[in-house]
Every structure is written in C-alpha cells, then in structure tokens.
Structure 1
C-alpha cells in the first residue's frame, strides 16, 4: 500500500477518473440512467469540484488513477449537509483498506468546511460499500434527502460529523 496515495484531483485526471467510475458502475450492474453514470460532471470532475466547500480526491497507485471520492454540498438541502459523491475503486485495489482511508479523507475535509452532516446514496446490493459506510458511522435512511437526480439509487445513508 505504500505506492498508493490520495491527493486532490488535477485537470489531467479528468479522463482517467471518468473511465474508472464508468467501468466500476458497469461492473456492478448499476443502471446508466438515474445514477452517476449519466452525470455531466463525470467528464469534467476537476472543474466540477473546483468550487468552494467541495473537493474530489483521487486514489493513485504508481501513477495510475485507480479510484476516487468527493465531497460537495447536498443539492437543494440545508447548507450544513454535504454529500459523499462518486466513491469508486477499481477491483485491483478493493479490500486493501483504501476505502476506509478515502472516506476518512473526505469526512475530514467535510468537517474542515463546517458541514454538520454527510449524506450518501448507493445501491442496496453494494454490500461491501454499505458495510464500510456503517463502520464509519453512517446510518440508513428510509427516503432520500435533497435532490441529487440519482433516482435509480435506492439506499440512502447519513452521518453526523
């Protein structure tokens, strides 16, 4: 794991992270409609997250982008709630503790920005991801919060920061 590092996204990472996210979504059988797959921001992640109160982090292994995750204010919701967004990793790095490292990097950033809660949406069958989210303190919700546009995601979670 010493060759793995987490860093802020750079413009040059746009194409690589879009490819990682789309390939993981396809691998997991996630619908292309109503999920992150069709987000316009996917092809311009650097520009999307270059605003106040948000950041996207990439996971780099020996110079190759192998995953990432971001924090941004939750759309159409109280300004004290952020969203953990687009957290995906290639299969080659899963199970090595990188998800735990990444989520803590994101949550630390969220706290630094003054957010009080962190929300996320995922798929009910993504059991490994949901197990990680619960491990760091996320709790299940019965319905979505805000309006992310991801109407195909049917598992919602939130955590007090």
Structure 2
C-alpha cells in the first residue's frame, strides 16, 4: 500500500513546490540561469497551470510535498505537442516507483487532451531522470522543439502519445 498520493496542486502547495524545485536543482548542480530555477512561474505554480490542456501534479506523503510534475502545451507547438515540465522529486521520493507513476499520470493527461507527442528537456548529468524518461518510452532527438527558454538544457526527448 502506497503511503503517498498524486493529486493536482492547490494554492497552499505553492511555497513547498517552489522550495522543492529550487532545492533539487541546487542539489543537482544545475545552473540558476537558463533553467527552471529562474522561472517566474515558481512563484505561483497553481496559477501558472490554470487553464485548458495543462495541469501540475504533486506527490504528497504525510502532509508533505515530496515531488511534482507539470504537463502543458509546448510553446510554439501548442496544438499537437505537450511538454512534461518541472518534474522534480526530493531524495526520499526517489527509487520508489513514484517517478514512473507521475510520468504515467502526466502522459495520460496529455493523451486525454489530444496531444500527439510529449516533449521534455533535461541536462546530460541528470542520469537518473534520463533513465526514467527512456524507460517511459522517450527518445533523444537532436534539436530542441518549441520555445521553453531553458537554453542550458541540452538533452531533448520526445514520445508519441496514444490517443484515447
């Protein structure tokens, strides 16, 4: 039995999510510019993911947010491609299958919203994340798609979605 649950973000989660994302980025040695670290969206993630065809999910365990991931239209290719965004987990969430469940939740959402593909950007040294994406069916592509503004992310991956 899981001691955690995946649910949509609520306004009272905003500060925890912002701190979680920034703490994980610092832990991973990610540059603070040209990455999610400097995104203004972190100040109000609930509001950032309001609207059609987008959602941000959090993993909650014992009243604490231990991970999260968003899914939204990819800027520049909004009609057909969604982007898996801001997927980060605290150390206590890793290696427990939570990442796979989160990706599946996000991909199902993308499929339900009639996106044809899902795109993600990451960094070469985020090896565990890349392994998880590979295991979930993402494939590396040569060039970035859309316009994410994350110029320091140099690994680009895509996956075809099964439409329902």
The TM-score with structure 1 as length reference comes to: 0.98
For structure 2, which runs of at least 5 residues remain unmatched after alignment?
Answer: none
Partner of 1:2: 2
Q: Alpha-carbon deviations, 1:40-98, whole Å to 9, x = none?
A: 00111000001110000000011100110010000012511000000000001101110
Partner of 2:160: 160
Take 2:18 and 2:59, find their aligned partners in 1: how far apart are those partners?
13
Take 2:13 and 2:156, find their aligned partners in 1: how far apart are those partners?
28
Partner of 2:44: 44
Partner of 2:69: 69
Q: Does 1:25 align with 2:25?
A: yes
Take 2:30 and 2:53, find their aligned partners in 1: how far apart are those partners?
28
Take 1:93 and 1:77, find their aligned partners in 2: how far apart are those partners?
32
Partner of 1:13: 13
Partner of 2:86: 86
For structure 1, which runs of at least 5 residues remain unmatched after alignment?
Answer: none
- The SS at the match of 2:137 is coil
Q: CA offset at residue 2 of structure 1?
A: 1.8
Take 2:35 and 2:78, find their aligned partners in 1: how far apart are those partners?
22
Between 73-82 and 46-55, report the one with greater CA deviation.
73-82
- The SS at the match of 1:44 is helix
Take 2:78 and 2:36, find their aligned partners in 1: how far apart are those partners?
22
Q: How many residue pairs align between the two structures?
A: 161
The TM-score with structure 2 as length reference comes to: 0.96
Take 1:10 and 1:136, find their aligned partners in 2: how far apart are those partners?
27
Partner of 2:96: 96
Partner of 1:60: 60
Take 2:53 and 2:110, find their aligned partners in 1: how far apart are those partners?
8
